[in-house]
Chain A
Amino acid sequence: MSGSVVGAVALSSGAASGAPLRLDEPLSFWGGLDLATGRIVDRWHPQSGASVMGRVMMMPCCRGSSSGSAALAEAIRAGVGPAAILLLERDPIVIVGAMVAAELYGRACAVALARAEDWDRLAAATRLTVEAGPGGATVVVEA
């Protein structure tokens, strides 16, 4: 099934598909994510209990502790991390976590910067395919 294509900026290379998971509030990977299961355990978070594993996670930026990068890298290593992450800001904590997982383990979690005007359409898709590389990033949106 083909879908429409939305342009984005590549922040960390990778290619993956998954159902979108739009977070209603930013998440701190450290303290907010169970690194054994990929579930959100931040009791303050509106999506507490949801799993990020294999999803295309959408959040404007992450939140809280600067230990988020290691937590994200560990989640990716353990195979419970998101398939890809779409941001609205160049959040360095997310970028570094994905980058280190790629360097140490060769496991890619694509990270891309989307446009605010595309956000609702991306979140409403049944499936997103994110491709991010040196040439830029695209997101294929399946309705």
Chain B
Amino acid sequence: MPLELTDFDQEILDGAHGGAAAFAMRLLMRFAEAVAAERFLDIEAAHVDGCLYLGRASLDFVERMAGLGGKVRVPTSLNVGSLDLIHPELFLGADEIRKAGARLMQAHVELGCAPTFTCAPYQSVYRPRFGAQIAWGESNAIVFANSVIGARTNRYGDFIDLCCAMTGRAPAYGLHLSENRFASALVEIEGVPDGWEAERVCVAVGHAIGRRCENLVPAIVGLPAETNEDNLKALGAAAASSGAVALFHAVGLTPEAPDIGTASGGIEPQMVLRLSADDLAEAARSLSNAPDGAPLAAVTLGTPHFSIAEFARLTPLLQGKKPRVGIWINTSRATREELRARGWDKTLAAAGVTLVVDTCIYVTTLTPRGAGVMMTNSGKCAYYAPGNLGVDVAYGSLAECVASARAGKVVRL
């Protein structure tokens, strides 16, 4: 079936809504043809992952849109940029990247995007409703919106997320359509290592399913009953780093999976993955390339951006002796405001915590380069930091990260 345009699509293409929207529609059409979509559908929101400066190409693209006088047509949040615009002094990279990165963020705001600069827009006022058609970029946000909220987006890469925002339209294919949202893989958790809290189980499961299920839709049976939203966030972020998972169902926990029959639509899974306690322990171990006891340079938390609930779990752990190494936490501007309103920012500063907003520590040059290991409770950060930053990483639970910061070396609890 060829791609069918509505009168509105045709108007955009013909330039009736400006040159930027026409350029966006031209790219969207070629994209839609490539993914074999037959039509476009309306979206109610977009999340654009184009603010990270990766080189000239990302800036040239948005400058062309801005140069054509474009504005987004739907409420649009922005993903992280290359630097913290509120604390620019934290940036230790090259001046050229600082300037180009700041311009890239500003150019998106000129297009009418909201300066949220967060990879966790789902924990902000931009959280979509169940069933909403949206066009989101940023792999962890995509998997969260689809899985934990039940909103509908494909894995939009940068450029296309902005094209959807500029037109208010997205190709009707993939996870926008009900028939593609059923589970195609079954993941059974047969056991968990002794003493493991839901936090660690979820990261290990996420890392394992990403590596094994690639871009299938896994239905996970057997997650701990106390699994919370932030645990599912960590699971999705890990699965979307080690694999291309855009939607998972946690049976009994996520909205499209009250039971396995509903999650699978009665369709036989293409693969069955059974995870034992040993498999989970191995998955967690493989996220560290630094040995226990190694000296620490820093602890980093908040990949994806730390939520208020995560700060609430962290602050009691910080009571007592001040950590010997600094703790860096990535979060959103909005969450930082909330921390100030609650007076928690002072508690955090006293414990040696540096808050980083607008960006994420693993994508940019922030931490002082010293000898030692970076420790994190994020499967995603542990996955990417060695390649991005050239550091050795230790993965551990939140409590282990704090204990290690205090001890100045990697400690296991």
Contacts and interface: CB of A to CB of B under 8 A. Distances in A.
Given A35-B54, A77-B57, A92-B35, A66 B138 contact: yes
A43 B30 CA distance: 34
Contact of A42 (B159, B289, B387): B387
A103 interface: yes
Counting chain A CB atoms within 10 Å of each CB, which of B27, B30, B52 scores highest? B30
A32 B241 CA distance: 11
A96 B215 CA distance: 18
Contact of A67 (B34, B52, B154, B242): B52
A44 B157 contact: no
B35 A100 contact: no
Interface in B288-304: 289
A91 B60 CA distance: 23
Interface in B370-408: 383-384, 386-388
A110 interface: no
A12 B55 CA distance: 22
Interface residues of A, number: 40
A66 B30 contact: no
B244 A26 contact: yes
A96 B56 contact: no
Contacts of A65: 139, 240-241, 384
Nearest to A77: B57
Contacts of B279: none
A64 B30 contact: no
Nearest to A99: B30
B155 A66 contact: yes
Interface stretch (A16-24, A68-76, A118-126): A68-76
B214 interface: yes
A128 interface: no
Contacts of B387: 31-32, 41-43
A64 B157 contact: no
Contact of B142 (A66, A71, A73): A66
A104 interface: yes
A95 B244 contact: no
A104 B61 contact: yes
A115 interface: no
Contacts of A70: 50, 52, 54-55, 57-58, 61, 157-159
Given A65-B240, A70-B58, 4 more contacts: A66-B49, A89-B215, A95-B35, A103-B27
9 tightest CB-CB pairs across the interface, nearest first? A69-B157, A74-B55, A73-B57, A74-B57, A93-B157, A70-B58, A95-B34, A70-B158, A31-B384
